[in-house]
Amino acid sequence: MTVSEILLDPYDYDFHEDPYPYYRRLRDEAPLYRNPELGFWALSRHRDVLTGFRNSTTLSNKFGVSLDPASRGPHASKTMSFLAMDDPAHLRLRTLVSKGFTPRRIRELEPRVTEIALAHLDTMLAKAADGETVDYVDEFAGKLPMDVISELMGVPDADRAQVRAWADGVMHRDEGVTDVPPAAVEASINLIVYYQNMVAERRSTPTDDLTSALLEAEIDGDRLTDDEILGFMFLMVIAGNETTTKLLANAAFWGHRNPDQLRPVYDDLSRVPLWVEETLRYDTSSQILARTVVGELTLYDTVIPDGDVLLLLPGSAHRDERVFDDPDDYVIGREIGSKLMSFGSGAHFCLGAHLARMEARVALAELFTRIRDYEVDEANAVRVHSSNVRGFAHLPIHVTVR
């Protein structure tokens, strides 16, 4: 097969099942890849992806970071907030949001995250204790992250299941769908209307949640508009909810596949963060991020014209043998450090990275406090089908409770 016959199609179900052989060929044979049918370029080597993340002038975010046509364009910031902006607009909005979304607020949230995790775990393990197989995503990994975001924002308990259902609807794609389907548009509108009402309530009656903190955030008289607050809330749903759900399920799946690596974690829960980091490297939730070339960019003796889409592939970068020893081995405790790009790098480094890591650490540690072992029913596991996110829609497990 010639280089020109390598195919990277982010919508292909076979690619979703296992993208890593495709990535290896790209790194070796086409480190700058071109897909003329879908109209994008792609970078797959670690060095190139890292350089791409850090080049926020030539590689613009202003048309969004997804390949999906409905998510791309000058309107992208309405739902993706500052992730779909360049400086100085990006820096202004991010700085204002950071006044409310502080590390301290995240630290103070941990006891509540633990309580939410325990509530869902209790329900799941009660079913598991009767010997029935439980769906780890439906019962736990798919519920916790959105409930944590709702807790942070101040969504009342009674509304959280509905908000979670809308959030799921925003992300769902059926096979062969390469754009945002009508059901997802409807779910998005429902969420935005709900959040609009919440913002209006907080304007008249402030509380101590993040929604009120965003309304109060101010730098030299500059404040966030309602639309900017809504954009950030929506970004949390898209970027903060789904990726953490996928991280939790990917950790469970690869832990199951590598019992020799997982056994020491049962005995020493201080190893849970190492388990999280290796999962982020080995099979990161966020696999593909789009940028738009501004001016022109020359890579590998090739000129990429102004306005073209360039995909950065952190999922591939993390398996680059030029950077990691035995990258296709799942090794909990390996040296990763700053080589990790699951949360990006540079100006757009994920503002929620510390929240995602805290959630994953709490969730997996509480799970392992209560179980002795688990088995994944791989035959009935269902992968999510997305052009940029990798993980499971369903992960049935059989659990041995302590």
Confidence band for 105, pLDDT divided at 50, 70 and 90 = very high
Confidence band for 177, pLDDT divided at 50, 70 and 90 = low
Instruction: Write the DSSP symbol of residue 286.
Output: B
Is the CATH number of domain 3-401 3.90.230.10?
no
Q: Does residue 47 have a pLDDT over 60?
A: yes
Confidence band for 384, pLDDT divided at 50, 70 and 90 = confident
Does 88 sit behind a cis peptide bond, omega within 30 degrees of 0 on the bond before it? yes
Q: How far apart are CA 140 and CA 182, in angstroms?
A: 27
Confidence (pLDDT) at 175: 61
Confidence band for 174, pLDDT divided at 50, 70 and 90 = low
Query: Residue 211 in contact with residue 324, Cβ under 8 Å?
Result: no
The residue to which tokens 């099979």 are assigned: 283
The pTM is what? 0.94
Amino acid type, 52: G
